[in-house]
Amino acid sequence: MSVSQLARAIATSPTMKLNEEARLLRERGEPVIHLGIGEPKNKAPIPAILGAAAKLQTGDVKYSPSDGTPSLKKAIIRYTEENYDRIVGPENVIVSSGAKQSIFNLLYAILNPQDEVIILAPYWVSYPEMVKMVYGVPVIVTPEDGSFYPRMADIESAVTSYTKAIIINSPNNPSGVIFPDEFIAQIVEFCERKNIYCIMDDIYHKLVFDGRKPPSCFQFTKRSPETTKIIAINGIAKLYGMTGFRIGWAIAPRELVEIMTNIQGQTTSCASVLLQAAAEGALLGIQSIVENLRLHCQNNRDIVMAELSTMPGVKCTKPQGTFYCLPDFRAYLHPAVATNSVQLSEFLLKKAMVVTVPGKEFGFEGHLRLSYAGGVKDLQEGIARIKWAIDPTSPNDIFIGDKKLLRDWL
């Protein structure tokens, strides 16, 4: 079939693909445990449901302004003030169909062909592909010491005259780490000095553990909303576990919002008014759901760390936020099992019916991303199955569903 070279070069979203594989296996009645999925299991908050239902009941479901309904934008302005201590106007806010679309529109708005975007490994799988989709060049910077913490010196040496933006995602998907304040301060200062956009993907900013305060990207700039180089991306997907509602937003200088609005106006027109009403309900409603979700994730983080510590070869940096961790499984790569993370992930799905995401997709080979957004039982059983499949010191047999399985490959 004739398709463009560019389209052909875009990789499938590995997480979407794994979700589909897991769904099909489940449909066939297989006892799959999904440690790959990036979504909590909670139900949507009541105020969100009521908001959408009330709008639906009016029957008045039309286009909204391309940049979002005025009332949702008002709620976002309030959220920004309360959580970031930052006063912005409606001209600085654009609502999209998910943070994913906000980031895409932003990249489309700022990149000329061949412009470069610095992406820090381990990175969210979609960043490099989205940069490529708008004819940009992703420049991956990987910490030399194998840690998940980027170093300013490495970033500085990757910057060229083509660099247009640096993407920062902290708390980080997939590692769960939070970058130190000093690093964020340095990055903001650097970007403002060099006239480079600093894209702060803050989608996990409230899912932080151990008494930490959610980091605020804006606290390190003295510039006004019109002159800052910081573009903040946020949304309701992770904040309220409302992944299917597809509402995200960007906070940016007016000129950029206008351009992003044109882009959106010519592609999707606007985000659905029903879902915008739901997002507004969630933002204005009682916020206890966020704290419940945060506590659930923190508790699960502790469980995942305890379970992984029973596999002495696995090294895992303790997450400080999100619902992911990125353990290093290199000590368990073995010709009878797998020699890289993609093979290991496939092996675990086939033998142990556990979904994981290969570290290669995040720029960290030899690792697997595990999501601990789900239930405790799945988490414990999932890791027990992984252990059975790859650790020769674990017992040889295991029950998966009602089948007793024997490990005969190690």
Ligand X SMILES: Cc1ncc(COP(=O)(O)O)c(C=O)c1O
Rounded Cα distance, 231 and 308, in Å: 36
> Pick from 191, 165, 53: which is nearest to 107 by CA?
165
What is the closest distance, in whole angstroms, from the C-beta atom of residue 235 to ligand X in the complex?
Answer: 4
Rounded Cα distance, 266 and 247, in Å: 18
Rounded Cα distance, 251 and 226, in Å: 10
Structure tokens at 233: 């991306």
Compute the chain's Rg from CA coordinates: 22
Binding string, 126-165, against ligand X, x = CB under 6 A? ----------------------------------------
Is 98 a binding residue for ligand X by CB under 6 A? The answer is yes
The answer to whether the beta carbons of residues 93 and 77 sit under 8 Å apart is yes
Tell me the window of 5-13, 62-70, 92-100, 286-294 that interacts with ligand X (CB under 6 A). Answer: 92-100
Beta carbon nearer to ligand X, 192 or 201: 201
Half-sphere exposure (Cβ direction) of 330: Cα atoms closer than 13 Å:
9
Is 203 a binding residue for ligand X by CB under 6 A? The answer is yes
Beta carbon nearer to ligand X, 240 or 347: 240
Binding string, 287-306, against ligand X, x = CB under 6 A? --------------------
What is the closest distance, in whole angstroms, from the C-beta atom of residue 161 to ligand X in the complex?
Answer: 28
∠ at Cα 185 (183, 190), nearest 5°?
A: 95
Which of 84, 104, 108, 124 is the binder for ligand X (CB under 6 A)? 124
Rounded Cα distance, 282 and 185, in Å: 31
Cβ neighbours for 192, distance < 8 A, ≥ 6 positions apart: 198, 221, 223, 228, 229
What is the closest distance, in whole angstroms, from the C-beta atom of residue 384 to ligand X in the complex?
Answer: 26
Which of 38, 40, 47, 241 is the binder for ligand X (CB under 6 A)? 38
Cβ neighbours for 176, distance < 8 A, ≥ 6 positions apart: 301, 317, 318, 319, 320, 321, 322, 323, 324, 325, 326
Beta carbon nearer to ligand X, 345 or 371: 371
Residue nearest ligand X by beta-carbon distance: 98
Which of 67, 201, 280, 381 is the binder for ligand X (CB under 6 A)? 201
Tell me the window of 97-105, 179-187, 313-321, 350-358 that interacts with ligand X (CB under 6 A). Answer: 97-105
> Pick from 375, 402, 405: which is nearest to 37 by CA?
375
Within residues 214-253, the interface with ligand X by CB under 6 A covers: 235, 237, 243, 248
Beta carbon nearer to ligand X, 120 or 353: 120
Query: What is the size of the binding site for ligand X (CB under 6 A)?
Result: 13
Specify which residues 357 forms β-bridges with: 369
What is the closest distance, in whole angstroms, from the C-beta atom of residue 205 to ligand X in the complex?
Answer: 11
SS3 30: coil
Which of 169, 170, 261, 272 is the binder for ligand X (CB under 6 A)? 169
Beta carbon nearer to ligand X, 373 or 398: 373
Contacting residues toward ligand X, per CB under 6 A = 38, 98-100, 124, 169, 173, 201, 203, 235, 237, 243, 248
